[in-house]
Structure 1
Amino acid sequence: MTETVPELLAELAALEDPRMREVNERNGDDHGVNLGKLRAIAKRLKTQQELARELWGTGETSARLLALLICRPKAFDADELDAMLRESRAPKVHDWLVSYVVKKGPHAEALRVRWFDDADAVVASAGWALTIERVAKSPEGLDLAALLDTIEAEMVDAPDRLQWSMNHCLAQIGISHPEHRARALAIGERLEVLKDYPTPPNCTSPFAPTWINEIVRRQELAAAR
């Protein structure tokens, strides 16, 4: 039996938790659905590209998150993904679109280049997120020194989401590329971005020097075993 969009919207509405919505709204996400329950619905539905497009078209954040879990990443063209990203204002939708769809499709590099210097800081943050992936897994052809130049010049004044992505890129360069580690650490120490970010116990601080040193320490410890 094929489930319809109205039925799924009703199911999602029934899962709304006002307390969870209150917590999510502090981070800009306008939904109150437990993500574990959302994933359970996606597992039941399996991959359904047309249903995913219909759910996306509702504009509802929880429906869009569900759409991203049941879509077929390779079925989107680059312009469609570009349009989807530009209308994704909820951070969780933005993150899942980049992580679960764009990164798994054939247009990741073309969109990375398209988004990297976009005038919209939220769109640019997606370009930086894709760059982080390249820095870690396929850095060939990237000018890491130039990336560090840009981070050094622009990160302090960048809007929050873009700043977060630039900071992650800074840390990733320092972690993955020992030849650039000293400079990455020095940039982080001088700029002090996220130095005082509240970090729960047993979690690594997003302050780049702390982040770099901790992950490198773990890698060296693992290699010594």
Structure 2
Amino acid sequence: MADPTSLTDPLLTDVMAELGDLEDPRIRAVNERHGDDHGVNLTQLRTVAKRLKAQPELARRLWATGDTAARLLAVLICRPRAYAREELDAMLREARTPKVQDWLVTYLVKKSPRAEDLRLVWFADPDPVVASAGWALTTERVRKRPDGLDLGGLLDTIEAEMKGAPERLQWAMNECLGTIGIEFPDHRKRAIAIGERLEVLKDYPTPPGCTSPYVPLWIDEIVRRRSEPA
């Protein structure tokens, strides 16, 4: 599991050994069905991160091992402001498992002052995995800082491209579509209509008590909850 350089790095060696001890073949088997290649319980991983606290240099050394569990731990103990735009761009492009990509964007890039620059770079990238990160950052802006965004233009792009997009990019575009419909009543009718016409994730199996990712149902459910008396 460990990178050869860890042999001269006692702290890294200890942490990698601890991650190795947490490896569970049953968890790995489940994760591999979703495209991930680690067998560490994420609650236990967070416990390790809580104990280590922020350690930017250790985070970089963990990332450099290439090991998925180590990279997940790295993004939990990093300092987002310590990373240049070019470094974050390179990290995303070399992170090919879904969980590492998700955590990298959620815990590092979204908290970085370089987030908007990267959103613009990634949004139209020809690599659908990279583009999905750009859409995730766009959804974050729709939710928190929509000023300056062309929401109608985003809906145009989603309507034209989401149906045929690769899975990860399709999920990211679908989330943006739903978020626009939830947050902006003026665009809600069109967002629902796009969802109904494209039928993306319409048949996605949704456990009881959970909200369907199918946009028309998702928008209706969240709007209904928000309208209920507190």
- Among candidates 96, 106, 123, match of residue 99 of structure 1: 106
Counterpart residue type for residue 149 of structure 1: D
Q: What RMSD, in angstroms, separates the aligned Cα atoms of the two structures?
A: 0.9
Name the CA distance, whole Å, in 2 between partners of 1:6 and 1:26: 29
- Among candidates 187, 202, 207, match of residue 214 of structure 2: 207
Name the CA distance, whole Å, in 2 between partners of 1:140 and 1:16: 45
- Among candidates 41, 48, 56, match of residue 55 of structure 2: 48
- Among candidates 155, 172, 176, match of residue 169 of structure 1: 176
Name the CA distance, whole Å, in 2 between partners of 1:3 and 1:30: 25
Answering whether residue 24 of structure 2 is matched by residue 17 of structure 1, we say: yes
Gaps of 5+ in 1: none
Residue 139 of structure 1 aligns with which residue?
146
1:80 offset after TM fit, Å?
A: 0.2
- Among candidates 190, 205, 213, match of residue 183 of structure 1: 190
Identity between Structure 1 and Structure 2 (%): 68
Residue 150 of structure 1 aligns with which residue?
157
Gaps of 5+ in 2: 1-8
- Among candidates 23, 26, 31, match of residue 33 of structure 2: 26
1:156 offset after TM fit, Å?
A: 0.5
Residue 128 of structure 1 aligns with which residue?
135
- Could you say if the C-alpha distance between residues 211 and 50 of structure 1 is closer, same or farther in structure 2, counting changes exceeding 3 Å? same
1:7 offset after TM fit, Å?
A: 1.3
Residue 198 of structure 1 aligns with which residue?
205
1:8 offset after TM fit, Å?
A: 1.1
Residue 75 of structure 2 aligns with which residue?
68
Aligned residues: 222
Secondary structure of 1:194's match? Answer: coil
Residue 4 of structure 2 aligns with which residue?
none
TM-score, with normalisation over the residues of structure 1?
A: 0.97
Counterpart residue type for residue 37 of structure 1: Q
Instruction: String of CA shifts for 1:41-63, please: whole Å, max 9, x gaps.
Output: 11111111000000000000000
